[in-house]
Amino acid sequence: MPSSITRALFDEVMVPNYNPSAMIPVRGQGSRVWDQQGNEYIDFSAGIAVNSLGHGHPQLNQALTEQAQSLWHVSNIFTNEPALKLAQTLVDSTFAERVYFANSGAEANEAALKLARRVAVNRAGTDKTQIIAFDNGFHGRTFFTVSVGGQAAYSDGFGPKPAGITHLPFNDLVAFEQAISERTCAVIMEPLQGEGGIVPATHEFIAGVRALCHQYQALLIFDEVQTGVGRTGHFYAYQHFGVVPDVLTTAKGLGGGFPIAAMLTTAELAEHLNFGSHGSTYGGNPLGCAVAQVVVDTLKQPMALANVQARSQQLRAGLERIGQRYGIFSEIRGMGLLLGAVLAPAYAGRARDFWESATEAGLMCLVAGSQVLRFTPSLLITHADLELGLQRLELAVQQVVNAANAPRK
Ligand SMILES: *Cc1c(COP(=O)(O)O)cnc(C)c1O
């Protein structure tokens, strides 16, 4: 189908903060996507760990269209049935007793960080302001959350940053123990760093951080924006680690493609965000909540989580096979369907080349920095689609390896 809407138009009308692929997707079904020319792709990206039920899921479409027939939006001057029902479900399925809805991961983290600061002000006065975060952590792009994130390159160049933020090496309990004090009001971490390169926390680190947060009365915030809602093969990753945070943020996969996020916490802490202290116009709107209800009801089922574990093993085995055959990966790491393939030294910094080659071979995937290929398919992906995607990845790898004329193992 010829179209005047092309990739070239992007450069004419869009702010250049993204550099999207040359092909433009127009339709999706399950784990398959088609572009303007009708080329088919296997989707190992799922909109960056968002389309957790795949594309065009019938029950999601039904929930969205049914809700669209009755009520789209009322603001938080009024509450609404889908929001209350979803909050009840999240409370019933996690440690949480209270829920705050937002529209993006950054906004959920903004709420979590503001809550932590407010709790400290109310309980301890003005000196307890330090927020500890970790190198290569990612928490969003609002100025507060990006400053808390552990890549200075993302927050540099925008003028004075919010104060009181300390960055420490991830998985280094000794450095953490030396840095935390009575002045620390919150510690924020991803149980498994996503954007930072698919780096899981060690059990020892996460348990040690929890204990020290208790000791110094600092809130422990788990940013599960990427790891939540079944992505790791557990409903939330904290349940795998057996370490319960004070605050948890969730977004990406929560809406299966509809923008929605939530901050979960205890009743006692929630009291500090009292009437008028924080808010959002769209947060918890009926459309998003009705869709997220289907996602949550589907993915808290042991059957769905078992599929994530089974497909995880299949994907990991396939990546290891390809890695060995062409000598391109030094490590496969991650949990569930959030896996990273770390490039071997001979291919250092070339993740984008593999990504481009994959797209040409009919596979949508992701990178996490310049050293790691990231795979976040739909959590409902079938054995057959996963196998086909791996075949296309192998073709893409052959292209890059041949072009580089690198010696094969
Ligand atoms: C994507 C992500 C965010 C930011 O979410 P947005 O919806 O883009 O604001 C925050 N934290 C983590 C761990 C993420 O992966």
Pocket of ligand 1 contains residue 298 by CB under 6 Å:
no
Task: Give the model confidence (pLDDT) of 227-255 as tens digits.
Answer: 999 999 999 999 999 999 999 999 999 99
Q: For residue 55, what is the DSSP state?
A: B
Q: Which pLDDT score is estimated for 407?
A: 54
- 1 has a pLDDT exceeding 60: no
User: Which residues, in sequence order, are CB contacts of 289 under 8 Å at separation 6+?
Assistant: 80, 82, 83, 85, 86, 101, 260
- Across residues 276-287, what is the average pLDDT? 97
Query: pTM of the predicted model, to two decimals?
Result: 0.97
Ligand 1, atom 6: closest residue by C-alpha: 105
Q: Is the pLDDT of residue 405 over 80?
A: no
Q: What is the mean pLDDT of residues 212-236?
A: 98
Q: Is 133 in the pocket of ligand 1 (CB under 6 A)?
A: no
- Ligand 1: residue of 226, 247, 260, 367 to mutate (most ligand atoms within 8 A of CB) is 226
Residue 408 has pLDDT above 60, yes or no: no
Distance 50 CA to ligand 1 centre (A): 10
The pLDDT assigned to 248 comes to: 99
Angstrom distance (rounded) from CA 247 to CA 130? 16
Position 332 scores a pLDDT of 98
Question: What separation in Å is there between the alpha carbon of 140 and the centre of ligand 1?
Answer: 5
**Ligand 1 and 231: CB distance under 6 A:** no
Quick count: other Cβ atoms within 10 Å of Cβ 8? 9
CA distance 194 to 68: 33
- Position 404 scores a pLDDT of 78
Q: In the prediction, which pLDDT does 3 show? A: 66
Half-sphere exposure in the Cβ direction for 45 (13 Å, CA): 20
In tens, the pLDDT along 86-127 reads 999 999 999 999 999 999 999 999 999 999 999 999 999 889
Radius of gyration of the chain (CA): 21
Average pLDDT, the chain: 96
